[in-house]
């Protein structure tokens, strides 16, 4: 993509409504535009990041055994009356009426609908375990939306639902998601720590929040510092091996870790002082096991080996991809702008032509652009006629992991400069070596 043709409305000055880094930087980097309180349009750069995030989420859900489908955003009130949540959910649920005065709602979550789909088709324990998920927009009418995408009212959510014949099998399903979540966040460059969580209005008795550490995080968290050194299972982890998964989950839940709401200061103080870590965190995922809370009232049953009906044991598992955009920026930025991890960067590399219109620089940039694009690399070529300083500022702001600086000085020696955004390190290389380096 050529920058001259990319719709990238960057701002030099910070819009006054933005207080925290991610909100400020998303607006400045032209990633999104606010349309109403807690409601945002994603611009091309923001959408690119979101798509990278959802691709990783999807891969890991599929690897763990999930089946992707897509449920609608609008749901019927009747379904929610059946589960008893229509009245319980309160004002956070956006209720609307269609032209026939039928009561509808914009889904804040999908337990009811997925249960309805499940019971319509699944009859036998032989069809279990089953994990269904989708990635869909949700609406929760937050009293006070804030922090840009981090707490919007309309947000994208990956929500998965598991169905099992009994509690033991459900525990295996829960563990699949637990491990998938560890992997999902790690692939984005994030260190996530599972913490025992309050189950809230969704209900149930087994739940973990996945918290990533960021200095500007919303909540205060307390944990054993050894979690920072734990290895995340690699892609060869066997999700069918219930015992193996349980071992991993046991390890990741054995040490103290709690958000401030669940914090037990006596337990925490009992830890040796050097391993006590208190930090700021952002919740990016939440998993629940809630047994038969929905399957009983909604009669989602299968016939068991004994020939009698069994209400299925369910779990639900959420990740907020739009929130993750903000969380990633909170975790990876400096005064100059965003520092995207490569896995989620909108472009992997950007070429800065420091003398646009110069015969040598233009030719060198065009060749680099062709060569890198030809290798399937997401490359952004800054072919605008801005001065070098402006190009540096833009590249740093939008946070592309690799910058290739092509200027008359270096080209005189046949060299261009490869700069790494994350640590600012630079290296003088021939254009061929740069291509080789980036295609390793």
Partner RNA sequence: CGGGGUGUAGCGCAGUCCGGUAGCGCAUCUGCUUUGGGAGCAGAGGGUCGCAGGUUCGAAUCCUGCCGCCCCGACCA
Which residues lie near RNA (CB under 7 A)?
A: 10-17, 19, 23, 28, 34, 36-38, 140, 142-147, 150-153, 155, 157, 200-202, 209, 218-219, 283-286, 318-320, 322-323, 336, 354-357, 385-390, 392-394, 396-397, 405-411, 416-417, 419, 426
Biggest distance spanned by C-alpha atoms of the chain = 82
CB-based contact 331:361 (threshold 8 Å): no
For 89, the token pair is 């959910």
In the complex, the smallest distance separating the C-beta of residue 399 from RNA, rounded to whole angstroms, is 12
Q: Count CA atoms closer than 13 A to 334's CA, side-chain side.
A: 10
Cβ nearer to RNA, comparing 78 with 385: 385
In the complex, the smallest distance separating the C-beta of residue 135 from RNA, rounded to whole angstroms, is 13
In the complex, the smallest distance separating the C-beta of residue 396 from RNA, rounded to whole angstroms, is 4
CB-based contact 202:109 (threshold 8 Å): yes
Cβ nearer to RNA, comparing 226 with 427: 427
Cβ nearer to RNA, comparing 166 with 433: 433
Residue 437 pairs with which residues in a beta bridge? none
In the complex, the smallest distance separating the C-beta of residue 405 from RNA, rounded to whole angstroms, is 4
The rounded Cα 378 to chain-centroid distance in angstroms is 20
Burial profile 353-390: b = 16 or more Cβ within 10 angstroms, e = fewer:
bbbbebeebeebbeebbebbeeeeebbbbbbbebeeee
354: nearest Cα among 391, 327, 379: 391
In the complex, the smallest distance separating the C-beta of residue 284 from RNA, rounded to whole angstroms, is 7
181: nearest Cα among 294, 22, 318, 77: 318
CB-based contact 302:312 (threshold 8 Å): yes
Residues composing the chain: 440
Cβ nearer to RNA, comparing 125 with 288: 288
Cβ nearer to RNA, comparing 13 with 101: 13
In the complex, the smallest distance separating the C-beta of residue 102 from RNA, rounded to whole angstroms, is 25
In the complex, the smallest distance separating the C-beta of residue 39 from RNA, rounded to whole angstroms, is 7
Cβ nearer to RNA, comparing 379 with 397: 397
Cβ nearer to RNA, comparing 203 with 244: 203
Residue 80 backbone class (left: φ over 0; alpha: ψ -120 to 50; beta: rest): alpha
């Amino acid at each position: 993509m050529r920058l001259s043709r990319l719709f990238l409305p960057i701002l030099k000055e910070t819009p006054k409504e933005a207080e925290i880094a991610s909100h400020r930087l998303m607006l400045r980097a032209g990633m999104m535009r606010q349309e109403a309180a807690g409601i945002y349009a994603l611009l091309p750069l923001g959408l690119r990041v979101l798509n990278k995030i959802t691709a990783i989420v999807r891969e890991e859900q599929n690897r763990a055994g999930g089946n992707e489908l897509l449920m609608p955003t609008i749901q019927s009130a009747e379904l929610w009356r059946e589960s008893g949540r229509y009245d319980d959910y309160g004002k956070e649920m956006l209720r609307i009426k269609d032209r026939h005065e039928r009561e509808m709602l914009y889904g804040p979550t999908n337990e009811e609908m997925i249960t309805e789909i499940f019971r319509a088709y699944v009859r036998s324990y032989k069809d279990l375990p089953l994990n269904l998920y989708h990635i869909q927009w949700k609406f929760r009418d937050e009293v006070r939306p804030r922090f840009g995408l981090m707490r919007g009212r309309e947000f994208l959510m990956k929500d998965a639902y598991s169905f099992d014949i009994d509690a033991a099998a459900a525990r295996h399903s829960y563990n699949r998601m637990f491990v998938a979540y560890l992997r999902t966040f790690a692939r984005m460059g994030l260190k996530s720590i599972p913490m025992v969580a309050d189950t809230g209005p969704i209900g149930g008795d087994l739940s973990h929040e996945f918290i990533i550490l960021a200095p500007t995080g919303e909540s205060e968290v307390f944990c054993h510092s050894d979690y920072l050194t734990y290895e995340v299972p690699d892609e060869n982890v066997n999700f069918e091996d219930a015992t193996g998964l349980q071992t991993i989950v046991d390890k990741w839940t054995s040490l103290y870790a709690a958000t401030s709401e669940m914090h037990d200061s006596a337990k925490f103080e009992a830890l040796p002082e050097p391993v006590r870590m208190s930090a700021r965190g952002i919740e990016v995922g939440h998993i629940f096991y809630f047994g038969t809370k929905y399957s009983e009232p909604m009669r989602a049953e299968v016939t068991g080996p004994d020939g009698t009906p069994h209400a299925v044991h369910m779990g639900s598992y959420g990740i907020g991809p739009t929130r993750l955009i903000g969380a990633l920026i909170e975790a990876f930025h400096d005064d100059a702008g965003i520092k995207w991890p490569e896995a989620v960067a909108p472009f992997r590399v950007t070429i800065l032509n420091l003398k646009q219109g110069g015969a040598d620089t233009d030719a060198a940039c065009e060749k680099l652009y062709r060569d890198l694009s030809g290798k399937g690399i997401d490359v952004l070529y800054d072919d605008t006629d801005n001065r070098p300083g402006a190009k540096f500022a833009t590249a740093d702001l939008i946070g592309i992991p690799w910058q290739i600086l092509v200027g008359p000085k270096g080209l005189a020696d046949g060299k261009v400069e490869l700069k790494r955004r994350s640590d600012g390190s630079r290296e003088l290389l021939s254009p061929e070596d740069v291509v080789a380096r980036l295609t390793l």
